[in-house]
Structure 1
Amino acid sequence: MLKKERAALIAQRLADLYPDPPIPLDHQDEFTLLVAVLLSAQCTDKKVNEITPELFRAAGTPQKMFQLGQEKILQIIHPLGLSKQKAKNLAALSGMLIEKHEGQVPQSFEDLEALPGVGHKTASVVMSQAFGVPAFPVDTHIHRLAQRWGLSSGKNVVQTETDLKKLFPRESWNRLHLQIIFYGREFCTARGCNGTHCDLCRELYPSRKKPVEWKKP
């Protein structure tokens, strides 16, 4: 099966499983989405969703977050990984939004990636999920599955993103990246499937016997 054929089959199977995939991070608007995505680095979405209700009650806007300050932010988010750096970034990010963007989340990759703690993946999530701009954020689930499904060499997340964008129609990116994440969590997990167990892996590679050693980003 050619790579393009695999991609088309994957898109169809995922559309059948997840026709309308929800955004896994709880949020109310662009700012709270940005905060939630920043907090999700090296942390599960489930854990972030346990922490953010208290944080958003106290500081659901850049102005309130900036006023809350780094130490009080840390008190709320301390159960999360990298909490000290995240608290520092949230305080600085909020100040920058107020100073440079009139308290609004900017709608460009360049401006988002200039914010403290915001890398390309976080910017891609915000651009796609908050503003509907086609993007293909690559997390560990997508990176892993792209290798198992033979869609990318998996040398790094940048290469994986480039390869996936070439294989799938631009209009499908925002929905598809969520569909792949949900499938990776539910069926093709890091330990539960090695490229030979889940339904999609077996359909794509029915004669595969050896496990796929995926390269972590």
Structure 2
Amino acid sequence: MAGVTSRPVRVLVVDDDALVRAGLTMMLDGAPGIAVVGEASDGDQVPAALDAHAPDVVLMDVRMPRVDGITATRRLRARPRPPEVIVLTTFDTDENILHALRAGASGFLLKDTPPARIAEAVRQVAAGEPILSPRITRRLMDRVAVQAGAYAQARATLATLSPRERDVVVAIGRGHGNAEIGAELDMTLATVKSHVSHILTKLGLDNRTQIALLAHDAGLA
């Protein structure tokens, strides 16, 4: 009986940096069992690229100028029979990790991951096995270990805010920018900025990332 030859894993590379795209394409095209079938330079190009190339796996950057990788992943995963997504980024903040996984990504790797490991991750994800870099896995395990205590503390902290301020915290936790928050909550941009400033002052926080992590700890995003 003749053997069956499996086709290569079809990969779409999405990154706004042309050098990064070229490097990933060159690396993956030389890896056994993988073929790069297309590239996109922004998240808004992903739907057309999916239709044109039918990839099995998408390597998705996070920060892109028009549509970010988290939003593009969420939209992609809402399609019928979507490809798997590996978020590949230089930014390993808890906010990015949690948003990527909640958007439906099957993997989260840092761009300093060795090339052979990225290729192996593509093959694993295509086979239905989620993948996280060891550094990310450790961070998530640490986060789970303190989650119970953090939940109660975060809820108590947020209780000091007004209902409107809590709405802004939830929106920040979901990764929304000021313009999106204004549209969602029917506020002017100046009002949103004022709320954010008051929240930082009231809670003794330094930046929006800390607000987002607080929202996650409280189970609100």
Given the two structures, how large is their TM-score scaled by the length of structure 2?
0.24
Question: Per residue, is there more strand in 1 or in 2?
Answer: 2
Question: Per residue, is there more helix in 1 or in 2?
Answer: 1
Given the two structures, how large is their TM-score scaled by the length of structure 1?
0.25
Greater relative CO, 1 or 2 (CA 8 Å, sep 6+): 1
